[in-house]
Every structure is written in structure tokens, then in C-alpha cells.
Amino acid sequence: MRLLWSCLLSSVLCVGCAQGHNVPPSTTRLDASSTDAGSSDGSASSDAAVDAGRDTSTPFDAGPMCPTGQAFCDGACRDLTVDPGHCGGCAVSCTAGSVCASGVCMLSCPGGTTGCGGSCVDTASDEANCGACGTICRAGEACMAGTCVSFCAAGEVYCTDHCVDTRSDAMNCGGCGLTCVRIHASATCVASGCRVNTCDAGFADCDDNDANGCERSVSCVIGSSCMTSCGTTGSRDCSDGCAPTCAPPTETCNAMDDDCDGVCDQLSGCRTGIYRSWDPTLPGGNGGHIYTKDVAVATEAPDRAIEATNFFWVYTANPGGFVPLYRCRLNWSGATNFLATGSACEGAGVVVETLGYAASSATCGAVPLYRLYSDVSGDHLYTPSTADRDAAISSFGYRLEGIAAYVFLTEHG
């Protein structure tokens, strides 16, 4: 009977302890080392722990490293200063209708803050509640004076961890994460679109389609020998890999159109102009013509006069395949001059002047140099003009002996 009363009394005392501290049995755990408020040591710290509903005997689980000002609670990092579910400590919940400010549950938020989801926040600067509860600023924006403001420069957006210009950034072309990658090429971003910049060696962009990069494999050796459109030897130009060209060489005095511009040897000094003069004392006082490259000879006293300057042109040096053109004097008549392409002067005279070199055919614009002879005066007439030739025959009694050589009407061409 005495044992039964002892058990009943103990039960009443235990219930009384729980009711006196207002701690639900489900949230209070006292182990063998804990002491009750009625313990002999009278520890105030033990009473405070029990009052707060926390178990001081259980080791604290720090969890993962949280940002400064936060603690790991209930599987996540929490801001204990404003979290209504963890206000001032993990699992310390504020009652319905109250808010958490500075780690303390309150009935209303202090001045300058607004209650949003049980937390007191400054809507002037809170990026999750900017200007109003639930207004979230986008990545790359900050909340300033209650407005989400981009902190990137004008024309830039925030991508991952930095500000970029998606109009020209090859790693974020037209939008964050849109990378310009083109086959066999380096690409660039222009006006928010990927463009081929340069092709890899051995490849070319021949269809102007940026999407498939440099699609054609090409083989072009820069500077290698090639045949030009006018038959000269040029060098390979690979600047356009899709259509390599043969760059012509520069002009030389070779009676060819080296640079394929339709004009031969447009260089000063390649050709020499020939004077045509009339001397009334030649031959034998009947008068005759003389052809020379020397102006002193062309104007020799007393009565010799120039009829034409640069009457025709011959090459100063032999460009290859040309024949020399000599001014000869007859052996039996020191006054008679004629032209010949051999130094023997047709076996009838001696060389008194080498005029230059004439073509043996109509090459590079050369024209026939007609040879005529007057049986009356003994004059040898040479002309590249068909009109002059015909007039000499029809009006002055000259007869055509043939073509002496091929000469040129201009210094170039």
C-alpha cells in the first residue's frame, strides 16, 4: 500500500514539473546528467536551457560552411536575424502574426522595414523584396531605392559572373552562354550574330555561310609559279582561297605585256625614237631622206631639216628575237643613206649608225616599216604609214621594195 502511494505521488510531481515550465514533452529531452529546477545545485543555466526548449546535452551539428551572418539549420543556411522559423536560433519559430527582426520575434517590424513572409526587410535594398514583397531582382541587378538596377554598363548584361556585351562577345553572342564556334575557323560576334573571322590553314569559306564555317579544303601555295592570263609567268596569290589567282609580274623591257594590262613595256628607256630629216643635198644634189636617233645628225648643217620627231620607235637593247637596224651609206655614193638589218649593209655599203632593234614580225603592236625607192633621185624612203607609202608611190614615183622590219609607233604599247 505504501509503495502504491509513492508511485502516484511521483507521477503527479513529474506532471507538475512539465506544466510549470510550459515545455511540451515532445520537445523536451532530459538525460541522466541533466538536473531539474528542483535539483540540489540550483543551477540557473539548466533552467534557462529547459525554458528555451533546447537540449544542452546534445552536441551541436554545424553542418556545411554558411556565409557570414548565417547558420546551418534544418538542412539549409539561415539568416537567424530575420528568419521567422529560426529567429535567433535554429528551430526557434515565431508565433503566427509575429515577425522576426534582429533575431527576436516581434508583433510588428521596426521602423524602416517591412514584414515580408514573416521577415522584417528593407524593401529599399532587399534584392528578394525590392520595392515590395516578392519583387526579385534579376541576376546582374541590385536593389537601389526600391528599384532593381543593372550594375553593368549600358549595352551590357550580366552573364554567370561578369558583365558582357552580347552584341560582340563571342562567348555570349546574342545571349548568355551562346558561344561562337565554327568548323575550321575562328569566329567573332557581330551585331549579336556569329561570323567567320579567319579560316584555319588549308580551309576557306567559299559559300559565305557563317553557319558551316570554312567548309572547303583548299591547297594553294603562296608565291608559287603560275601562268597568267596573258601567257607570262606570275606568282600564286592565295588571298582568296576559294579562287586563287595568278599575280602577274612587273614589266620589263622584253617586248611582252608582262602585267597583262594590254600594253607592252610601259617603262621609260625601253625604246628609242627615230628622226626623219630631209637633206636637199642628198643624194648627189637631188635631195633625200635620212633616219637617225641623233638629233645632231638630224639637223646637220647646212640645210638638213627634221620632218618628223619620233617618226617610229625601235628597242634600245635586244629584248630577245629582234634584229638590229642599221643606217648604212652606199660605197659608191657617200651621200646615199639606207637602212638594213644586217651589218653587211646588203653588201653595198658600210654601217654608220646602229638605230636600235626592230621586230621581225608584228609582235607587241609592231607595224611594218615599208621600204620604197626612187629611181629618179636614188632616195630610199622608209615609212610605217600606209597613207605615206601610197602617196609616195602615186604622187612622187617611188616604188615599193618591201618591208624592211617591224617598228613601233609609240614609246609604250
* N- to C-terminal Cα separation, the chain: 145
Cell numbers 595568278 label which residue?
Answer: 246
Count the Cβ atoms, other than its own, within 10 Å of residue 266.
Answer: 15
Q: Is 182 a domain residue?
A: yes
Contact 360, 321 (CB under 8 A): yes
Contact 99, 115 (CB under 8 A): yes
The conformation of residue 124, written as its DSSP 8-state character, comes to T
Q: Is 81 a domain residue?
A: yes
Are 286 and 381 in the same domain? yes
State residue 18's pLDDT score. Answer: 33
Can you list the residues of the chain whose pLDDT is less than 70? Answer: 1-64, 139-140, 161, 284, 332-335
State residue 251's pLDDT score. Answer: 92
Cell numbers 622590219 label which residue?
Answer: 405
Closest to 151 in 3D by CA, of 176, 172, 160, 143 = 143
How many domains are there within the chain? 4
Are 281 and 392 in the same domain? yes
Which domain, by its residues, includes 192?
A: 162-217
Are 118 and 139 in the same domain? yes
Are 117 and 211 in the same domain? no
Q: Is 231 left (phi over 0), alpha (psi -120 to 50) or beta?
A: left
Determine if the peptide bond prior to 110 is cis (ω within 30°): no
Q: Is 42 a domain residue?
A: no
State residue 155's pLDDT score. Answer: 84
Which residues are CB-neighbours of 5 under 8 A, at least 6 positions away? none
Q: Which of 93, 123, 148 is the last residue of a domain?
A: 148
pLDDT, tens only, 148-205: 887 788 888 877 767 889 999 999 999 888 999 899 999 999 999 999 999 898 888 9
Are 144 and 189 in the same domain? no
Contact 316, 265 (CB under 8 A): no
Are 135 and 168 in the same domain? no
Are 202 and 320 in the same domain? no
CA dist 105 and 84 (Å) reads 7
Backbone angles phi, psi at 355, to 5 degrees: -75, -40
State residue 150's pLDDT score. Answer: 76
CA dist 262 and 265 (Å) reads 10
